[in-house]
């Protein structure tokens, strides 16, 4: 499972930008399911048909994880950002982050008295000016915690995107190993969970399963 988890946590995929994660998963499960489709929201829906009279069981794991969206540029070259999903401010300070195009940075907080707020955070990408920063990233670009997947002892793994790529890995492994089933399995790799469970809601209404199980950490 470690190699599978490592491959999935290394894929860039904040909320609303899960395409690379979906591409990775689709390649893994394509030989193991009967149908694969993506809906308008971006959910990857894979079905393995069961036998006549069986139930339709939907298993859902979300592909997205939290990030920082660029909202402005300071004259010194720093990026103003706000959260995409449930960012913890204290655990984000001095964290290494990366954008989809490979630009890297560090999350920093301006000096403040009292409690820190999201409005006090910025990302330093090493730009010397606003003009240089605007050449490297654009308004609306999203940074995520840089990937750092490693083992913790024999049976544990740590990585920034374990929520919820470890469950995606579990669902991939299920599809690869389950064989013939009485019930139809609807595996939904959903989008935008971190900003309101949007993908899973859409998929559950569209597929109308007899039973739905969410797999999350």
List the catalytic residues. Answer: 193
* Contact in structure between 64 and 194 (CB atoms under 8 Å): yes
Name the strand (E) or helix (H) holding 135.
helix 130-136
Select from 188, 193, 131 the least CA-distant residue to 161. Answer: 193
Name the strand (E) or helix (H) holding 198.
helix 198-207
Computed from CA positions of residues 204, 46, 166, 43, in that sequence, does the dihedral angle turn out positive or negative?
negative
Give the three-state DSSP class for 190.
strand
CA 108 – CA 84 distance, rounded (Å): 17
Two tokens, residue 185: 């399995």
Two tokens, residue 159: 């990585």
């Amino acid at each position: 499972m470690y190699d599978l988890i490592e491959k999935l946590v290394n894929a860039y995929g904040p909320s609303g930008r899960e395409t690379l994660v979906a591409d990775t998963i689709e390649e893994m499960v394509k030989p193991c399911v009967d149908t694969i489709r993506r809906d308008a929201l971006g959910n990857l829906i894979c079905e393995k048909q069961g036998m006549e009279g069986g139930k339709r069981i939907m298993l859902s794991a979300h592909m997205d994880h939290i990030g920082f969206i660029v909202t402005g540029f300071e004259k010194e070259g720093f990026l103003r950002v706000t959260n995409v999903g449930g960012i913890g401010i204290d655990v984000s300070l001095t964290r290494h982050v990366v954008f989809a195009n490979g630009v890297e940075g560090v999350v920093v907080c301006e000096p403040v008295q009292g409690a820190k707020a999201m409005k006090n955070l910025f990302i330093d990408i090493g730009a010397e000016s606003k003009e240089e920063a605007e050449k490297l990233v654009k308004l609306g670009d999203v940074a995520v915690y840089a990937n750092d997947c490693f083992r913790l002892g024999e049976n544990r793994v740590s990585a920034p995107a374990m929520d919820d790529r470890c469950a995606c890995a579990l669902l991939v492994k299920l599809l690869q190993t389950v064989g013939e089933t009485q019930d139809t399995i609807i595996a939904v790799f959903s989008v935008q969970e971190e900003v309101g469970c949007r993908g899973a809601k859409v998929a559950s209404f569209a597929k109308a399963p007899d039973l739905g199980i969410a797999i999350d950490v």
